[in-house]
Chain A
């Protein structure tokens, strides 16, 4: 079964290989992602995130608390490079919300009995079961790949500037991060893969090593000089 819907401003593609898998859990997945968008989008004035940012909500709910807790954890471990509360800007936890919510969506499918499925949310992938062959988009050629992964029961996320420009800010300087062309992280969950990829990209060249140091994380980076740096355990498809 395959389905594509547009949620949170990006396409979400689902492929489930389990035979006769029902539609209802897939409906549930998209309903969850829409609910997350309504609650956590900084672009919606009535979202919980916007109301918290304006001081209209005193205590965030348990899920937003979990998200903001992750944001704070990454702000500290990146020495402030990753920061969802940049001066002069609105609170923007999107980088954590995306991976976190899609990971939870994948867990909804798994709880409904899906065993072999692939969930791709705007380029961030949860690969359940496997093996899956996951291409990584070449940073300079949209129709080419720079590597192919062999992935089973893991997640992969990529941060780069080629789609949405200089949108990742190094919180230490307040300026766009430009040290890397593209950085891909494989991790046990998409929550971690997506946040580590964004945080490492914000750090620039030193973020490659920072990400590779994390237990369970594998990294493939293309730096500004078009040099590839990858961790020894990065699961390249052979």
Chain B
């Protein structure tokens, strides 16, 4: 993760000129990051657009692991795919970096159909929420 962050940041930095090229900024920064990162692991997803698709190459950015350059395919105003034109030969750069949301842990009650939890044993079942749901019918 520590190594992934600078790579992600630089990948995004490489996207900025491309981004300015795009007529619309609708998605906002974070969703662009997500979309930019995701197709890096599936380069085959590119160039499926119709007549309105445009392919733009970002400028190469030097990182401590080597140069990074991306190519973005727009389907109209939407980013259809992002391809790494150049990337350091390092496993972290080939993985997509997902966006995780941080929250505080809450304890709640709710009307539910079933319960997911760590594998409950048959002995522990009697005391479980699922047993109460099954008994209620």
Contact = CB atoms under 8 A, between A and B. Distances in A.
A208 B102 CA distance: 12
Interface string B45-82: 00000000000000000000000000000000000000
A125 B118 contact: no
Contact of B99 (A127, A140, A232): A232
B40 to A, nearest CB: 11
A136 interface: yes
A147 B127 CA distance: 20
Given A13-B130, A213-B96, A134 B101 contact: no
Interface in B90-115: 95-115
A136 B98 contact: no
B122 to A, nearest CB: 4
Interface string A157-184: 1111111100000000000000000101
Given A118-B113, A213-B97, A145 B108 contact: yes
B121 A9 contact: yes
Given A10-B122, A11-B120, A137 B106 contact: no
Interface in B110-137: 110-122, 124-125, 127-131, 133-134, 137
A133 B129 CA distance: 14
A162 B119 CA distance: 9
Contacts of A222: 105
B119 A229 contact: no
Contacts, number: 164
A164 B114 contact: no
B122 A6 contact: yes
B24 interface: no
A144 B132 CA distance: 13
Given A4-B134, A137-B118, A148 B100 contact: no
Contact of B117 (A127, A163, A227, A228): A163
A47 interface: no
Contact of B98 (A2, A118, A135, A231): A231
Nearest to B127: A142
Contact of A122 (B101, B104, B119): B119
Interface string A205-238: 0101100110100010010001111111000010
A206 B113 CA distance: 31
A9 B129 CA distance: 18
Given A10-B119, A11-B122, A135-B116, A209 B103 contact: no
Contacts of B105: 138-139, 146, 222, 226-228
A141 interface: yes
A98 B109 contact: no
Contact of B107 (A11, A138, A182): A138
Contact of B110 (A125, A135, A140): A135
Residue with the greatest number of chain A CB neighbours at <10 A, chosen from B105, B112, B117, B130 = B117
Given A141-B107, A228-B105, A10 B121 contact: yes
A222 B108 CA distance: 15
8 contacts: A11-B131, A120-B115, A122-B120, A133-B111, A145-B109, A146-B107, A149-B116, A184-B116
Interface of A: 2, 4, 6, 9-11, 13, 15, 98, 118, 120, 122-125, 127, 132-149, 156-164, 182, 184, 206, 208-209, 212-213, 215, 219, 222, 226-232, 237
